Amino acid sequence: MFTLTQAEQIQDAGEKNYLIHEKGLWSWLTTVDHKRIAIMYMIAVLTFFLIGGIFALLIRLELFTPGQTIVSPDTYNKFMTFHGAIMVFMVIIPAIPAIFGNFVLPIMLGAKDVAFPRLNLASWYIFMIGAILAASTLFLGGVDTGWTFYTPYSISTSTNVVLTVLGAFTMGMASILTGLNFVVTIHKLRAPGQTMSRIPLFVWAIYATSIIQILATPVLGITLLLIAAERILGVGIFDPTLGGDPVLFQHFFWFYSHPAVYIMVLPAMGIISELITTFSRKTIFGYTAIAYSSFAIAGVSFIVWGHHMYVSGQSEFAGKLFSVLTMLVGVPTAIKLFNWIATMYKGSIRLDAPMLYAIGFMFLFTIGGLTGIFLASLGMDVHFHDTYFVVAHFHYVMVGGTLMAFTGGLLYWFPKMFGKMTSDTLGRISWVFVFTGFNVTFFPQFILGAMGMPRRYYDYLPEYTSLNQISTVGSWLIGLGFVIVLIAIIKAFISGEKASANPWGGKTLEWKTASPPHYENFETTPVVTEGPYEYR
Amino acid sequence: MSIANIETKHEGGHHGFGVDEHGHFHHAHHFKDAHHQYESSKQGIWLFMVTEILMFGGLFVAYAIYKSLYAPIFHVGSSFLDVKWGSVNTVILITSSFTMALGIYYNQTNQFQKAVVSLALTILCALGFMGIKYIEYSHKIHDGLLPGKFFTNKEFPKKLSEYIKKMEPEDLSPQMKEIASNPKRLEKAAPLYFGFYFAMTGLHGLHVVIGACLIFWVMVKTHRRRFSSEYYTPVEGVGIFWHIVDLIWIYLFPLLYLVG
Amino acid sequence: MFSLHFTVLANTFMPVQGSEIAVDVDYHYAFLVISSLIAFIILIGGMTLFIVKYKRQTENDKTAYISHNHFLEFLWSFIPFLIVMGVFYWGKVIYDKHRTFPEKAEEIHVIAQKWAWEFKYKNGVSIESAKGEVLHIPVGKPVRFIISSRDVLHSFFIPGFRNKQDAIPGRFTSMWIEAKQEGEYQVFCAEYCGTGHSNMPARIRAVAPEAYVAWLEEKKANTPVDPNAGNEMAMKGASLYKELGCSGCHTVASDAPKLSGPSWVGLFGSKREFADGSSVVGDENYIRESILNPMAKIVKGYAGIMPPYVGRVSDEEIDNIIEYIKTLK
């Protein structure tokens, strides 16, 4: 540990720490404390991650051999749908904003809570109701449309589409309300002296994410309601036999779902900004560029949805427009990467477990991002669309990107949240399994895609077998890696070393409170006099 | 960042905020003062309205696309709606926006009895609106003018064929021409208009009901003197919601009723 | 040449190149792979270098305070911008080749359904992937596919030609290819369409133009006479069997492999046993009910997954299907 100056000696919050300030299950279920709500989201999201992860392992197990390995095609299609829907709507979209946004953002701003604490609790309940609605289909025969619900298949299939889309709609409501809460918090609850150019980059990331949540999610909402209306009433909007247009569904769906992937990745990038500066003990390079690039990405994300639809029957002109705009998104993304690496230049770097995960992000997200350029190119995408190349690309950015950043953030803020240190050794071991396992699982899938293997395939040609088998073995390594993370967490709860207020030497405001924090975050409201990364 | 020692005043309790039994207002403890809380709440309410507009906006965009492709279907469909009832509903909603505004004003000026009356009148308007919707919907159900597979009205396809015959071929979109050339497909496509009718008025009607419940809630609170010139944010918030619901109807009415 | 070596390496996993456009795509791909590799080495190599070189020495290390460098930031924004714009342009040029249709192309209709392809030539010859038949095309001549679907979205994907196009019900889409050498190419469905999505492959064989013409004529001559010729209703029923998607789950030949629904062979006039123990002799009423409300009677040994056709099929069409079923003994 480094020496704390007199002014930085922080008292343990004792009886007033948020975990024990009020006791009993009811105090948790009726809490309006953003930190407790964050923990409740964490329990829910990690549980859903476990379930979604099990479906992933089942998928890869089935794909170990061509033809039937463990289940029928219909069951496999349901596994495929559950894996996607659970991971997208119940894990990757909410994870970082609802867990770390809720816990850390108000403290980073020097605030006592978010702007609307009761709305925050309501969001959690709405999220849980939506999750239960969607998950109930697990026991009612499942859904087999894929998480994208393309029409007309989603209209005619006999599986539980309506329940699933209503669940997703409800979870979307929670997403909107959380985003709304964060925007007003950032605008209105900053501590004295904290101008917008002094807020941490994690806050900028959540800010841009929240704008997307507010603007994009309602369109998904109405799209899902329309599918329900089609199935129940036969409205005819997407059903070609009734005069409808199935491709219109794709436009509506991707108008939300493309910005949604930036809801997934922008907060992750915010975490990386925090990790890189703290573990390099160096001020961030290009603060303004990173802050603005989040907004540039958010803005451009709304006008590129058609790159999912190059071969859908959309016009050639539209394809060209979407392609050139999609290329643009690569530039602010690359700028962030360059700035992070420049931050490490002449820094004082230590590869604690959270930093290892940040480095892992850089490695894997670079590959994911570069392959995104392959797919943005019209000529290339005509071949790669709906093949395993796409599957590899989005897993590199969502798992190699967001999930890596999430785990890094978890290990980074764990001492703050719970007052205990996790074992760094276990953290590093978990990283080896997750990082290696990830590449073993997904790199072969780029090759499978180039060879022409389409996605969502239950059965495949014999020549694709060896790559599929390698990929399956990789999935076991990833599973093991996350089990080790779980073990590290449990071990920390039971016998973790007591954490100081600032075990990593961070400079943002959350490290100026006790670990765990006082239930109102600060004994006295801080006054901010300098930027967030002043390592001098 | 460094910390300076500033004592914060903890006003009110941690258990809720608002006007207490003695008429004093306590702002929530994470805000600096009442004005800070008010500004923040307003911002939150408006952000939520943006999402509502975007959601309905999606429906409007879909409507615009289909209307441009299948103009005759929409034209004939609209002729089955009663402009009289639509106009009455429009007047009712505009009136209700006025009474809602009064409800806010009277709260702001501590005239609570008048506020309660204004809010009650607003709810009455909402009920009137839903009553007329009930009349309209039951007529549609009786006449078989329902969406998709429930559509059984025989007059519609006849009117549609006649209307198309009178149109110039170049005024018809290629998609419309293709459907018009096949009588079976024309029959199947006819209900498309009513799909939109029920989806748009249904979603809007749901918001009217939700709005009425919200107005009832603030009316009860007004009656219990929970608001004052110091604090009337919930009434204003509900009012903003109600005005947006009214605004959406102002767009719905001509699009659905007056294109015929 | 050095660059050719790399190109070959990058293309090791691509399918055989069926056309000139495939060659173009592969060059584009090779460029993307190599430039990505270079970018990756620079970025991640640089990062690794920094991790090693700037390892923390003491707890009180002082680090350089570098908040920005406008020149560097401009450079590393502008250069990537130029590169991606170049990539866009190159991709667009290839895309234009894919989607600009040659004047005189051989036209073949492609009809997708759950879960098989039907190819129809102008002269009436029909090739069905479900029967293992192979689509033939001439080498060196452009072939234009006019693509549609009978039920849900499918996608006509030919990896060897680096080309695909979605098949949309109620609409026609189009793509074209030109084989540059003889060979056989794989076709996959590339848009998820349910149970049999991964089991609706097809094969395309490119042959010399003379051989193609000969094959087409022979196929035409050998087209079996429709056994229902003269029975108008049954012939219409036979078409509806395909158009309405019944063929996805019900077979009409006694030697066809079992599908997810009961076969229609011998249905009419024979006893049907149902899951609840009851039974009925297959007649007009039973068939009609099963089309409109399939859940009413589920045949023993089958899952109740058939969607109802109420609202989707007219009375006349039902009559035609019934007549067709009567001919299946």
SS (H, E, C) A348-394: CECCCHHHHHHHHHHHHHHHHHHHHHHHHCHHHHHHHCCEHHHHHHH
Residue C117 · residue C128 · CB < 8 Å: yes
Scanning B98-137 for CB atoms below 8 A from C yields none
Chain A residues touching B191 at Cβ < 8 A: 234, 236, 242
Tell me which residue of C10, C186, C191, C89 sits closest to A446, measured CA to CA: C10
Lowest mean pLDDT, pick from A70-74, C279-283, C310-314? C310-314
**Is A24 within 8 Å of chain C by CB?**
no
Residue contact A383–C64, C-beta within 8 A:
no
Q: What is the pLDDT of residue A2?
A: 41
Q: Which CATH class is domain B50-258?
A: mainly alpha
Is C61 inside a domain boundary? no
Is C297 inside a domain boundary? yes
Whole-number Å distance between alpha carbons of A380 and A374: 6
Is A5 inside a domain boundary? no
- Other beta carbons within 10 angstroms of residue B39's beta carbon come to 15
Scanning B30-89 for CB atoms below 8 A from C yields none
**Is C163 within 8 Å of chain A by CB?**
yes
Residue contact A330–C84, C-beta within 8 A:
yes
Q: Given a cut of 80, is residue C310 above it in pLDDT?
A: no
Nearest chain B Cα distance for residue C311, angstroms: 6
Is C289 inside a domain boundary? yes
Q: Where residue B3 falls among pLDDT bands split at 50, 70, 90?
A: very low
Q: Given a cut of 90, is residue C234 above it in pLDDT?
A: no
Q: What is the pLDDT of residue B152?
A: 87
Domain edge (last residue) among C222, C243, C263: C222
Residue C174 has which token pair?
Answer: 């189009």
Q: List pLDDT tens digits, range A122-173.
A: 999 999 999 999 999 999 989 999 999 999 999 989 899 999 999 999 999 9
| Domain spans, chain B | 50-258
Is C228 inside a domain boundary? no
Tell me which residue of B139, B136, B141, B165 sits closest to B152, measured CA to CA: B141
Residue C50 · residue A341 · CB < 8 Å: yes
Using CA atoms, how far residue C25 sits from A306, A383, C12, C92, C97, in Å, is 21, 8, 14, 11, 10
% of chain B exceeding 70 in pLDDT: 92
Is C37 inside a domain boundary? yes
Is A27 inside a domain boundary? no
Q: Given a cut of 70, is residue C298 above it in pLDDT?
A: yes
Give DSSP secondary structure letters for A326-339. HHHHHHHHHHHHHH
Q: What is the mean pLDDT of residues B151-163?
A: 87
- A197: CATH: 1.20.210.10
Q: What is the mean pLDDT of residues C242-269?
A: 85
- Other beta carbons within 10 angstroms of residue A301's beta carbon come to 23
Nearest residue on chain A to B188, alpha-carbon basis:
A242
Write down the residue that tokens 């075990």 correspond to. Answer: A503
SS (H, E, C) B69-138: HCHHHHHHHHHCCCHHHHHHHHHHHHHHHHHHHHHHHHHHCCCHHHHHHHHHHHHHHHHHHHHHHHHHHH
Q: What is the pLDDT of residue C306?
A: 83
Whole-number Å distance between alpha carbons of A155 and A28: 41
What pTM was computed for the model?
0.89
Is C179 inside a domain boundary? yes
Q: In what order do the strands lie in the sheet containing C143-149?
A: C126-128, C116-121, C106-113, C143-149, C173-177
Q: In terms of residue numbers, what domain contains A192?
A: 32-521
% of chain B exceeding 90 in pLDDT: 60
Q: Given a cut of 60, is residue C175 above it in pLDDT?
A: yes
Closest to C28 (Cβ–Cβ): which among A146, A280, A377?
A377
Size of interface A-C (CB pairs under 8 A): 272
Q: What is the mean pLDDT of residues B40-47?
A: 95
Residue contact C80–A460, C-beta within 8 A:
no
DSSP H or E stretch at residue A155? helix A153-156
Whole-number Å distance between alpha carbons of A517 and A50: 28
Domain edge (last residue) among C172, C195, C222: C222
Same-domain status, C166 and C253:
no
Scanning C309-328 for CB atoms below 8 A from A yields 311-312
Q: What is the mean pLDDT of residues B213-240?
A: 94
Same-domain status, C6 and C77:
yes
Chain A residues touching C9 at Cβ < 8 A: none
Q: Exposure pattern of A418-428 as b/e (b: 16+ CB <10 Å)?
A: bbbbbbeebbb
Q: Given a cut of 70, is residue C4 above it in pLDDT?
A: no
Number of independent structural domains in chain C = 3
Residue contact B3–A520, C-beta within 8 A:
no
Chain A residues touching C29 at Cβ < 8 A: 374, 380, 450
Whole-number Å distance between alpha carbons of A495 and A420: 8
Lowest mean pLDDT, pick from A231-245, B170-184, C139-153? B170-184
Number of independent structural domains in chain A = 1
Nearest residue on chain C to B152, alpha-carbon basis:
C311
Whole-number Å distance between alpha carbons of A157 and C305: 9
Q: What is the pLDDT of residue B47?
A: 95
Is A9 inside a domain boundary? no
Is A305 inside a domain boundary? yes
Is A11 inside a domain boundary? no
Tell me which residue of A156, A168, A153 sits closest to A82, measured CA to CA: A168
**Is C155 within 8 Å of chain A by CB?**
yes
Same-domain status, C241 and C319:
yes
Q: Where residue B130 falls among pLDDT bands split at 50, 70, 90?
A: very high
Q: What is the pLDDT of residue C9?
A: 56
% of chain C exceeding 90 in pLDDT: 57
Q: What is the pLDDT of residue C5?
A: 58
| Three-state secondary-structure class, residue C223 | coil
Q: What is the pLDDT of residue A324?
A: 96
Q: List pLDDT tens digits, range C106-125.
A: 999 999 999 899 999 988 89
Using CA atoms, how far residue A72 sits from A139, A142, C196, in Å, is 17, 14, 11
Residues in chain A, pLDDT under 50 = 1-4, 6-7
Residue C40 has which token pair?
Answer: 């990756």
Q: In terms of residue numbers, what domain contains C71?
A: 2-53+67-99
Q: Given a cut of 80, is residue C274 above it in pLDDT?
A: yes
* All partners of chain B with 3 or more CB pairs under 8 angstroms: A, C
Closest to C314 (Cβ–Cβ): which among B148, B149, B184?
B184
ipTM value: 0.93
Cα–Cα–Cα angle for C29, C35, C40, rounded to 5 degrees: 120
**Is A445 within 8 Å of chain C by CB?**
no
Lowest mean pLDDT, pick from A172-181, C24-33, C227-236? C227-236
Is C62 inside a domain boundary? no
